[in-house]
Amino acid sequence: MTLKQTACLFLCIYTIPLLATEAATQADDLFALSVEDLLEVHVDIASKTSETLASAPSTITVFNRKKIALLGVNNAFELMNFVPGMQSTRGDWVGAVPKDHARGVYLDSGNILVMINGERLNESSFGKASVYMPFIPVEVIDKVEFIRGPGSALYGSNAFLGVMNIVTKSHANEISLAVGNVGQASAAFSLSQQVNEQTHLFANGAYNRKSGERYPQGVKDPLQSIYLEAGLDIDKLAVRGRYNQVELNDFLNLGGYSEDNQHRSENTFISVGYDWLDTDTSTFSSKVAYTHHQIQSAGLIATADSLPLANYDFFVGPAWHTSDLTINLDASHEFDNGWLFNSGLEYNHAEQQKADLRSNYFDVSSGEIIVEDPFYQGSIVTISNYAPFQSLQATFETRSIYGQIKVPYSEQFTLFLGARYDDVKDLDSNLSPRIAAIYRPAEAHTLKLQYGESFRTPVTNELYSNDDVTIGNPNLKSEYVKTTELVWRYERQDWHVNSVFFYNQLHDFINIVPLSADNTQFTFATQLDDTNRGVELDSMLRLPNDFSLEATYTQYFDTPMKPTFKRFASVIANYEYQQWLLSVNGVWRDEVNVQTSNFKQPAYLLLGAVVSWQLSARSQLSFKAHNILDKQYDVFDPRMADGAVAGVGSEYSVHYQIKF
């Protein structure tokens, strides 16, 4: 892109305009709200106090269910592509689970904390939420909140370069059905019942599948997903339960594309919360939550052609179980002078309970993987108590304390001060401070100066892995980042623009480094220190005749530590005419050129569209399209031999929804 084109794009950002602002939950029609109304929605992910997007002490992007429907995405991770500073692509691991790019950092370690209803999904074996929960269906989502930048002052490890909190539906009664090309089919429901004044029940469920398209590499990318959730509120008591199962087979693993690559994950969650005190000035609540994660995967490591003593492809992967038990106490108090204090204690017991092996080559007598024909198992089998994996069965005990005070000096100036201390027994401890000053010199202008520090604790795969691909390093310590942000927000009745300049100082990043000359075996090392600066722009314009236009643009000033997109943007246009609604969106990514891997992907644009017809007050029919022009593109991943992971082609689907 030339300098002239870049300048034009900057101009468009400021004269056209944002993404993702939330409509109030009781008003599901995007066009029923003005931009001014949209800016006044309340979010609490950034501070655990009720704030608007302008007053929150973080940079936030929010998608409500209407906005998600207009984007035509199927998975919560896909929303990252419409968030400034973030992108989500398929990675290099079995099934090509989602992989995040955040503020110039593209590493395989879980630098974004993902939560469902405030409960973390990142766990202790791989760190990335997407390994164990790679598909979260949008049919059950009420809204998604993103913190762009550090969040460890509230949420601890993994809230490193961003936080994504998925809020599921709890007050909806609806059913939806969908069919599409590449074998797409889905069905979902949401139920809500107010039994009496004190008792409320709700449930969500979704089933999604697709057979996938056929890629030039000779494989498809099939998906099968089940999501079930239920909740019970009785006065001050809240009980939640959730189950998720996902299969992503065939597509890709470190050794290449194969129809025999396997990936299956399951997650079970239950929590009990109680509000002990809830007055106009003070609150005190407690919660106990338990999550159990399971994964069974096996991916191609080497083809038969490359094996001197074997005639079948070699596959290997984990059969791992992990769990998280969290006990949390939260309190808040508002003083007579308007100062608001939030604090909390948290205990987390994370454990890798099972670390078995899945492979198609194994010598039972020696207990070793021997890639020779006499030890071929006939298929991929599970090897229990595989000796080299037993060191992975580790336990992490974390004790945390956090506090924050909101100081409203005047109607124009507010100060937030906060910090969290996390002590991981026998491993590491971290203090994560944060300060945010928010100043409104005029009604239309908001200025923010924000500083925060965040960290990510190493996980068992990095510390203790021992297989044919990776060897752990038990001497690793936490990686951390210091982030400074300068924000200017300008808002009028039907238009707003948001500008964020960020400066990241990255320290002690854990990186995968090769142990073999042919890059087939790796270990982990704390070896990366870097600086990353950039600007994130977003805006939204509401025009007469029910037309709105939104845009985002991200530009990094420094070369990312690992090759990833240095510039990217998105545009969304929405138009409503009587019972019809048309939305067109585009995601643009700049070129990626990696000489060491001979990888070059020119800049490309992915177009999508949604057409909705309101059949009645309670039902609607929608047509959704992704990558309309069937753009063929690759995403760079350093662990692939040629660096290339194939992108998703055209997908079309028809959706019917009825509310009752």
Nearest CA among 249, 248, 250 for reference residue 217 = 250
**What is the predicted pLDDT for the residue at 23?**
32
- Give me the residue spans of the domains in the chain: 3-659
Picking from 10-14, 58-62, 250-254, 592-596, which range would have the lowest pLDDT averaged per residue? 10-14
Percent of the chain with pLDDT over 70: 93
Cα 189 to Cα 447: distance, rounded to the nearest angstrom: 42
pLDDT exceeds 50 at position 82: yes
**What is the predicted pLDDT for the residue at 207?**
98
pLDDT exceeds 80 at position 344: yes
Secondary structure element (H or E) that encloses residue 195, with its range: none
pTM, full prediction: 0.92
pLDDT exceeds 60 at position 181: yes
**What is the predicted pLDDT for the residue at 50?**
80
Under the banding of pLDDT at 50, 70 and 90, the label for residue 582 is: very high
Name the most confidently modeled range: 43-47, 81-85, 461-465: 81-85
pLDDT exceeds 70 at position 31: no
Comparison of pLDDT for 221 and 107, the residue scoring more: 221
Picking from 22-31, 203-212, 486-495, which range would have the lowest pLDDT averaged per residue? 22-31
**What is the predicted pLDDT for the residue at 225?**
97
Q: Which two tokens stand for residue 16?
A: 């056209």
Q: Tell whether the torsion through CA atoms of 145, 150, 153 and 157 is positive or negative.
A: positive
DSSP letter for each residue of 405-427: EEEE-SSSEEEEEEEEEEEETTT
User: What are the tens digits of pLDDT across the range 525-546?
Assistant: 887 889 999 999 999 998 877 8
DSSP letter for each residue of 228-288: EEEEEEETTEEEEEEEEEEEE-SSEETTEE-TT-EEEEEEEEEEEEEEEEE-SSEEEEEEE
The DSSP secondary-structure symbol of 468 reads: S
**What is the predicted pLDDT for the residue at 121?**
95
- Mean pLDDT (whole number) for 176-190: 98
**What is the predicted pLDDT for the residue at 21?**
35
**What is the predicted pLDDT for the residue at 520?**
66
User: What are the tens digits of pLDDT across the range 371-421?
Assistant: 999 999 999 999 999 999 999 999 999 999 999 999 999 999 999 999 999
The DSSP secondary-structure symbol of 43 reads: B
Percent of the chain with pLDDT over 90: 78
Cα 165 to Cα 112: distance, rounded to the nearest angstrom: 10
- Mean pLDDT (whole number) for 564-582: 95
Exposed, middle or buried by CB within 10 Å (0-12, 13-18, 19+), for 243? middle
Cα 262 to Cα 273: distance, rounded to the nearest angstrom: 37
pLDDT exceeds 80 at position 25: no
What is the amino acid identity at position 432? S
Cβ(544)–Cβ(579) below 8 Å: no
User: What are the tens digits of pLDDT across the range 475-514?
Assistant: 998 999 999 999 999 998 889 999 999 999 999 988 878 7
User: What are the tens digits of pLDDT across the range 587-616?
Assistant: 999 999 998 889 999 999 999 999 999 999
**What is the predicted pLDDT for the residue at 176?**
97
Comparison of pLDDT for 111 and 468, the residue scoring more: 111
| 245 Cβ neighbours under 8 A, 6+ residues apart | 225, 226, 264, 265, 266, 267
**What is the predicted pLDDT for the residue at 13?**
37
Secondary structure element (H or E) that encloses residue 152, with its range: helix 152-155
Cα 222 to Cα 355: distance, rounded to the nearest angstrom: 26
CA distances from 37 to 53, 77, 260 (A): 11, 27, 51
Secondary structure element (H or E) that encloses residue 557, with its range: none
Picking from 284-298, 352-366, 533-547, which range would have the lowest pLDDT averaged per residue? 533-547
CATH of domain 3-659: 2.40.170.20
User: What are the tens digits of pLDDT across the range 621-635?
Assistant: 999 999 999 999 999
**What is the predicted pLDDT for the residue at 52?**
81
**What is the predicted pLDDT for the residue at 357?**
95
- What dihedral do alpha carbons 203, 123, 128, 608 form, nearest 10°? 10
Backbone angles phi, psi at 181, to 5 degrees: -70, 180
CA distances from 524 to 108, 124, 160, 501 (A): 11, 16, 19, 31
pLDDT exceeds 60 at position 6: no
DSSP letter for each residue of 96-110: --EEEEETTB--SS-
